[in-house]
Amino acid sequence: MSEPERLMTASACIAKVVIDTQTWIDLLHFGDPRCEPLAGALQARRVTAFRDDATKRELIRVLGYAPFALSDTARAALLQRFMALSHDWSPSVDGSAARLPRCRDPDDQMFLELAHRSGVDVLISRDKALLALDRRCRKLGFAVLRADDAQLLNRLPLG
């Protein structure tokens, strides 16, 4: 079975993910109920979320936005939870990022690159520009889904 076919198989469990900044904010700051199954799987270590330096810097930058009105202590606590729930992926230079589709938002390209490099099953996002690339990304071995997408929820490993 090819990788794209495996991704479409409902019985295949999702074990590795990349999560974009918006979804991390929904999960860590807002406690969005649509992220609860994912949060539970991450906390129970049934799913591994990867981060790299670029995605970590992006989260730090966004947490500093005025609308969040987070104190230094609150930002540090959110970042600590992010670090506890995700795993570092060291970059490898293999040139394969050139095969990736281009996201309309250049700030989101880093998530596609990390998902591809780290060999995850799914990039979790609610960004329309990333979600629009799902079909093309499946040909490269990973899906792009929302945290509340049934394809994701039905394949999260149960305890």
**Residue 158 lies inside a defined structural domain of this protein:** no
Tokens 């970590």 locate to 56
**Residue 37 lies inside a defined structural domain of this protein:** yes
Distance CA 79, CA 73 (A): 10
Lowest-confidence region among 4-13, 37-46, 147-156: 4-13
Using an 8 Å Cβ cutoff, are 50 and 114 in contact? yes
**Residue 70 lies inside a defined structural domain of this protein:** yes
Q: Give the count of beta carbons closer than 10 Å to the beta carbon of residue 102.
A: 11
**Residue 159 lies inside a defined structural domain of this protein:** no
Does residue 95 surpass a pLDDT of 70? no
**Residue 39 lies inside a defined structural domain of this protein:** yes
Residues spanned by the domain of 35? 3-153
φ, ψ of residue 30 to 5 degrees: the values are -90, -15
pTM above 0.85, yes or no: yes
Copy the structure tokens of residue 121.
């099953």
The number of distinct structural domains making up the chain is 1
- Residue 2: pLDDT band (50, 70, 90) is very low
Which amino acid does the sequence have at 1? M
> Beta strands 16-19 and 48-51: pairing type?
parallel
Which amino acid does the sequence have at 85? L
Cβ partners under 8 Å of residue 1, min gap 6: 9
Q: Which residue has the higher pLDDT, 3 or 108?
A: 108
**Residue 101 lies inside a defined structural domain of this protein:** yes
* CATH number of the domain to which 22 belongs: 3.40.50.1010
The candidate with the shortest Cα–Cα distance to 151, out of 139, 44, 138, is 138
Cβ partners under 8 Å of residue 80, min gap 6: none
| pLDDT tens figures, 43-55 | 999 999 999 999 9
Using an 8 Å Cβ cutoff, are 121 and 14 in contact? yes
Which amino acid does the sequence have at 149? D
**Residue 53 lies inside a defined structural domain of this protein:** yes
Sequence-ordered alpha helix ranges (H) in 30-85: 36-43, 53-63, 72-85
| pLDDT tens figures, 123-135 | 999 999 999 999 9
